[in-house]
Amino acid sequence: MDELIFENENILPESSADNNFQLEINFSENSELNRFQNTLDNGDFVMLIEHNSVELDNDFEIAKERLAQLEEVVLNIKSVNAALAITDSYASANCYKSIDYAMGLSPDNRDRHVIYLSGRNSSLDDMKSNLSLAQSGKFKNIVAVTGDSVFGEGVRATQKRTFLESVHTLQLIRRNYANLFFDGCVMNPFQYTPYTLFPQYSKLVKKLNAGAKFIVTQAGYDMLKLQALRWYLGERGLFFPTIARLIFLSPEIVEAILDKRIPGIKISNDFKKILDKELQFSRNQFESAQWRRLELQAAGCRLLGYSGVQIMGIDTPTKIKSAADRIAGALREFSNFEQWLEEYNAYLAKVDMAPISGSFYMYDRVLRRSYPETPPRISEFKVATLTNKEKILYNLRKFMFHAANKQNSQNRRFWKILLANCRTCRNCRLPHTFYVCPEHCPKKSANGPCGGVKANGDCELGNFECIHSYMTRLAMWKKEVNTLEDDYLPIEGIDIQGDEK
């Protein structure tokens, strides 16, 4: 059962932070329209507290009452623009849907919070009903995610689940719920090879083209990667509000990350050594080290151009209040990039946050200056190698695909099974995917990789290459990496309006 840790704590009074602080607080009761969106539009910094929906064995009404208590704490914070980000539980598939759980939030304040809608176990129709529920519940801010695999489940069990890609949810919102939602997407900048990083960026562009209006990053610690994302968005003229997801680490969360119970989050060996050292003396010392880390990261994010932070691992009213006070304090403490960089370097510079050696960063000289050269200098990288067998197979598939299409259906099927292990989809997407069948992804993600892909490019669910790493290696070989962001691929057998093909 999910432990609701704040149960016995008093609901705290208003934050005691310095009320003379100059931060613009936009979450006032009088604001109209969408207060979360207004705050981002005004360029004011936001602190989202991430809170998971509860597991099914909880009494739902009691859980929602506790959520309302937590909300009251958040709404009483005056030092920073604070709100909740309600997500599905990453730890379990047996939890209440985030949108049902979010109904515990006060109707008058739902425009302040952000609700994540996960595509895990969700068909297009399920997502339509989630969105209709969000609309009738007067929720305005949605983040579309494809959803995590379930810890402990392998490829087969994952394949049995339905995953609606976030790109499709965004398309659905644009088509059926235009102007009703301020919808965002998630992006994982914490990849360290060209063939794992480029597809994450390509997928981001697809999501923005599909209608996403703001971006939340995957959780991570590498500020170089966070700056590279901001530079990339600037270089492409993609001026979307971006929120960095940070983690307030506890020994339990570190253990869960190292056990791979939290998908897509990596801790490098160097960073692990630092964390071990911090834990060596006492839990209190560990906690104060994490507060300082959070302060530095949040202040750094603002100076890098992020519109806010979303913090995971803050689960009690006391911690929420501390996080607000500390972040507000850090924003006051660091008013310029150079001053912040000096402190950050003194605190963490020697730590290599990359989980693999020889890691790739999109740009040269990240985190040495606040603005890139114009245009930013893309780091040199080696085109990922393809074996002769892979090249021959690609050419064979390409040639035979077109030849097979001229055959009768039985022969066509035979050739496609032989060459691409065809699953006989009703709308074949092979010509758009470098002849790699998206049905071989355990989540059947056709439009780009999920956030869980491993540092070496393997699938999060096993020791085999993620289909999108493979496709990117092929695209690099063919010098067609740019095409990865172009093709919007529909759900197998269904178009976006939900009509069967």
Site residues, ligand SF4 (CB under 6 A): 441-443, 445, 449-450, 452-453, 459-461, 466-468
**In whole angstroms, how close is the CB of 155 to ligand SF4 at the nearest point?**
8
Q: Rounded to the nearest 5 degrees, what angle is found at the Cα of 226, between the Cα atoms of 222 and 231? A: 140
Please, is 488 exposed, middle or buried when counting C-beta atoms within 10 Å of its C-beta (0-12, 13-18, 19+)? middle
- Whether the CB-CB separation of 437 and 456 falls below 8 Å is answered with no
Kindly state the smallest distance separating residue 469's Cβ from ligand SF4, in Å. Answer: 7
Q: Strands (DSSP E) along 67-206, which ranges?
A: 81-87, 114-118, 141-145, 182-187
- Cβ nearer to ligand SF4, comparing 98 with 200: 200
Smallest distance from the beta carbon of 443 to ligand SF4, in angstroms?
A: 4
Residue type, 200: Q
Nearer to ligand SF4 among residue 376 and residue 448 (C-beta):
448
**Could you give the CA distance from residue 160 to residue 315 in angstroms, rounded to a whole number?**
33
Q: How many Cα atoms sit within 13 Å of 469 on the Cβ side?
A: 21
Q: How far is the CB of 15 from ligand SF4 (least distance, A)?
A: 40
* Shortest spacing between CB 85 and ligand SF4, in angstroms: 22
Q: Closest distance between ligand SF4 and the C-beta of residue 272, in Å?
A: 23
Question: Smallest distance from the beta carbon of 436 to ligand SF4, in angstroms?
Answer: 10
Q: Which is nearer to ligand SF4, 140 or 468 (CB)?
A: 468
- Take residue 404 and report the two structure tokens written for it: 């097979």
With beta carbons less than 8 A apart as the criterion, state whether 215 and 185 touch: yes
| DSSP run (H or E) holding 473 | helix 467-477
Contact 157, 150 (CB under 8 A): yes
CB 474 → ligand SF4: shortest distance, Å?
15
In angstroms, what is the minimal distance from the CB of 420 to ligand SF4?
A: 15
Residue 105: DSSP 8-state = S
Measured from the CB atom, the residue of 148 and 278 that comes closer to ligand SF4 is 148
397 dihedral zone (left: phi>0; alpha: psi -120 to 50; beta): alpha
Least distance between ligand SF4 and beta carbon 488 (Å): 16
CB–CB of 121/150 below 8 Å?
no
How far is 457 from 338, CA to CA, in rounded Å?
35
The whole-angstrom separation of Cα 148 and Cα 200 is 16
Which residue number, 90 or 306, has a Cβ lying nearer to ligand SF4?
90
E strand or H helix at 102, and its extent?
helix 98-102
146 touches 468 (CB < 8 A): no
How many Å apart are CA 143 and CA 166, to the nearest integer?
9
Helix (H) or strand (E) holding 231, with range, is: helix 223-235
